[in-house]
Copies of this chain bind each other. A is one copy, B any other.
Amino acid sequence: MHIGLIGLGKMGFNMRERLRNGGVEVTGYDRNPDVTDAASIDELLAAVPTPRLIWVMVPAGDITDAVIKELGEKLDEGDLVIDGGNSRFTEDQKHGELLAAKGIHFADCGVSGGVWGLQNGYGLMAGGDAADIERALPVFDALRPEGDRADSFVHVGGIGAGHYAKMVHNGIEYGLMQAYAEGYQLLASKDIISDLPGTFRAWQKGTVVRSWLLDLLVKALDEDPGLQNIDDYVEDSGEGRWTVEEAIANAIPAPAITAALFARFESREDSSPAMKMVSALRHQFGGHATRPAK
């Protein structure tokens, strides 16, 4: 099998290597000349045998949109595009229709595993028609960990379902990280805990909270036991927001995931206008002193 892979960033670069290790021939394209195989998308399309399978692995939003529109103009009937990035599931349905109008097939695939995927394999959630998913199975099999396919790959449903599942996966991930992080702060603030990194380490086998994220937490404390070198500013990349928006759209309470999202927002504020107002109100009714702004 020989596929095209557009996007060789942090994720795509590693995926190309894992695919090749797994026996899939890959022609990759990236704007970065140091990593690209093809000089242009046109050159990539010329290199890949038809009917083509083109895996798109570029940043969600405008860039994915532009790449898929370009492919819509350049691909042939019967080709298959798989968006493996973190697109919002609502985008998939638009992209599927756009390509279908030209006889081009489309599927979406949520990919989890981060920088460890090269070594461990990626967890994959695919959305699309059964025949398209079937056709891409050799690619999925090369990307995922060894062992039972069902433990690391799922055909979730129609177009968009893979990214929906990945969005929820990331929402859960926010909640899990927040839970560990709150526990970390509780332990780190208590004098009677004299072996903080050792406590987390001892949770790795046997306890109910053992997980891969816990293993990474232990690794992080190995590298920097008091997290001295890390600021508390935390970015988000969209999926957490979308998860809460979906919760709202479907009238589903999601308080823990939302708490995790808001904690990130708070982490980025130098000063909270809301809490200035609470301070101002306490001063107004109770004569409580306010602190002068820094």
Which residues of A approach B to under 8 Å, CB–CB?
A: 10, 89, 112-117, 120-125, 127, 144-145, 147, 150-158, 160-161, 164-165, 168-169, 171-190, 192-195, 198-199, 201-214, 216-217, 219-220, 224, 227-235, 241, 243-268, 271-288, 290-294
Q: List 7 A-B contacts (CB under 8 A).
A: A116-B285, A186-B254, A211-B213, A216-B284, A231-B291, A253-B263, A267-B279
Name 4 extra pairs, CB < 8 A, besides A181-B273, A267-B275: A116-B285, A152-B204, A155-B198, A182-B254
Provide the main secondary structure of the chain A interface.
helix
Tell me whether A252 and B265 are in contact in the complex, defined as CB-CB below 8 angstroms, given that A195-B154, A216-B284 are known contacts. yes
Minimum CB–CB distance from A150 to chain B (whole Å) comes to 5
Q: Is the pair A186, B277 in contact by a Cβ cutoff of 8 Å?
A: no
A81 CA to B189 CA in the complex, in Å? 28
Minimum CB–CB distance from A79 to chain B (whole Å) comes to 24
Q: Is the pair A194, B273 in contact by a Cβ cutoff of 8 Å?
A: no
